[in-house]
Structure formats: C-alpha cells, structure tokens
Structure 1
Amino acid sequence: MTRSKAASAVDLDDARRNLGIKLRLARQTKGFTLKELAERGDCSESLLSKIENGKVMPSLPLVHRLVHALETNISWLFEEQGPQDNVVFRKGQRPFISLEGSTGHTTGVMLERIIPYKEGHLLQCNIHHLEVGGRSGGSITHEGEEVGYVLAGQVALDLNDQTYALEAGDGFCFRSNIPHSYRNIGSEPASILWVCTPPTF
C-alpha cells in the first residue's frame, strides 16, 4: 500500500465517527439502551459507548454480533454516499477500512473495497491487506458463501478446527456458516482478494 500514514489516520478517524453515528441511530431506532445492546452484543457498556462516540473501531466479530442484535447488516454501517451506477473503481481511489482489535489497537488488517457498500449489490468484494502478524480476530459465522484468492504472501485460513496454509496463487471456497478467521503467517505483508455473497461486511 502506498497511502501515507497521515491519510490513513484521517480515514480511520472518519470511519470510526461515521460507524459510531450509524450504530447509535440503529440502536435508538430499535429502542435499545446502551446496556441492552451491550448485553446482546456480549461487550461492555463502556466499550459500546466508545464505539458510538467514534473513539474506537469494533473488532470484526463484535460488529457481527451488534448488527445481528440490531437486525441490520454491516454493509449498511459502511454504506457510502455517491453515484449508484459506478462501474469502474480506479486504483488509488478505492476506500480503505482499518480493523481494530478488542484493545483498540490495530489488528494489522486493512480492507480495500472493490465493490462499494451500496444497496442492491449481491456480491461483496475486498482485498484484505495483512501486515506481518496481522489477523482477523476471533472466528465469525454468518449466512452465505465465500471465495478467496491469495494475491501475495502466506496466510493461514482457520475453518472450524482445521487450518489451511496458503500462499500466493492459492484459492479457497467455503460456506460462511463455518466458523472462520485468517492470519498472516509469513515474513512479508500478505493480500487476499475476498468475495462473498450476500454482502455482510
């Protein structure tokens, strides 16, 4: 990735703020208190408050639990405003999302959006960029099907209780209801082209 650290920090601040606003709106629309949603999402009330106030970005597993409790989807949380009929998304103009862990520190994973998060798309596609030691966090499950192709580096794909070591040129496909996570097991950054349907993140 060639993006500057300053630009990445600004993008992350904006992403935190926008996600927090939408999450609070969804919670209030459902009539949940902070405490009620925290219990349903299996997290602390103080952490949820920090998320809603744009202080931290929730981990991927936590986002899945929260949107499930709110009966919405992750695509809506990250939905972008703009033209609905774009066909081409140029290099250097695609948005990035940096994922954080439960402690508020980066997980070493950056998602580069290939398909924007807009209503009507049947597919979701990102390039998952993993720093050395980067990992997705805890296992998640949801409805759908996923396919991926390792563009660079070496990664481990954990499916339920089985681990697959993959390298550049390897591909995979699995049902999304299988608990899954992934991590960089190499000495260099790794990238995975990842597609799933229906859109969940």
Structure 2
Amino acid sequence: MTDAAANMTDCANTQHSLERYLGNTIRELRLKHGLTIAEVAEQIGISRGMLSKIENAQTATSLETLAKLANALGVSLSTLFRNYNMPAGGAQHIKQGQGMEVVRRGTKRGHTYHLLAYDQGPTKLFEPFLITMDDASEVFPTFEHPGTEFIYMLEGTIEYRHGQHTYLLESGDSLTFRGDIPHGPEKLLELPIRFLAIIYYTMPFGSIS
C-alpha cells in the first residue's frame, strides 16, 4: 500500500470513529432526556430515518445539523465533542486503610508509614506517605534524602526539626523543605499525630532507605 493510500485509509477510519462516537453520544443524550427519535427529528427538521442513521454511524452530517441536535438535547456543540479521543487514563485509587504499610528507617512501635501510591518500574518521581505516630516516648532518628519534602498536618501537634530550626506543626499546618538537610520529628506534643509527607524527587530516583 502506498503512503497516499495508507493516509486515505487512516482518514476514513478516523471519520468513521468520529461518526460512531457522535452517534453514541447523541443517542445517550436523547435517552437521558426521555426523547424519541421522532420527537428530536421533528424539532430539528430532519427525517426519523436520517436521525437513526446518524445515531448508528451510517452517515455523516453537517455541523449545522449537529448544532441543531445539540440545542435540541440541551447541550452546546462543543459538549458533543468533549470526550472524543480522550485518553483512557488509569489513576491509582487507594481506599482508606489500604495503603501499603512500609518499613523505613526509624519505624518502630507506634510509628507507621502507609505508602499511598506505588510507582511502576525501577525509578520513582515522588512518594506520598500517611504517617501515624501515637507513642510519645519514641526517639526518632533524623532523615536525609534527595528531593523536596512537603508535610501537611492532619491531626495532633508535633515539633519538627529541619536543620538548625524547629517548627510547631498543628492540624492544618504545612511545611516544605529540602530533603538533603537533616530533618525529622523532635517532640510529639499532642497525640495521636497523623500527617501526609510527600517527597518529590527532582530527577528519577531509585529506592530509598
């Protein structure tokens, strides 16, 4: 097959795909509003057979007719095309309590990490943790790692050290800092403590301790 013939085939496939998408969208909107083919066809001035062909991707139609259809179905013309060729997506959905519990340096009794997203492959760009602390007697080590860390307090009160400075963090507070400077909990002031800690790596990074 020549390049020209291949391009013509691709264009034909794209056109049919668009017609099929528009037909399905128009049918779904019509049924959603409880309208019959006859009612919509009469409102916009085309035959029932033509509207049936449009819905079944058996014919192409003009933008003028599509605009009339959109108006009859109570949407804008752009709405008819809104989801055409939209990427499929594939977000990670972690239900409450289902984050993977991980062991990191300093993890002890009364101190848990739940990883809320799992990067695929050997490198990672960010790590979001839900961290829970409920043992005031625990002594915490300091941490150092590449990238930038963001903490958002959900519950409790903690004194958190970053380098030579300490910060009082209460529910609703946040703290953003460089991860390569020693940091970590200094004092647990009001238990239980829960906070989100999100580490963003400025370049892909392998597993961390």
Q: TM-score, normalised by structure 1?
A: 0.49
Larger RCO (alpha carbons 8 Å, 6+ apart) = 1
Using the size of structure 2 for normalisation, the TM-score is 0.47
Structure possessing the higher radius of gyration over alpha carbons: 2
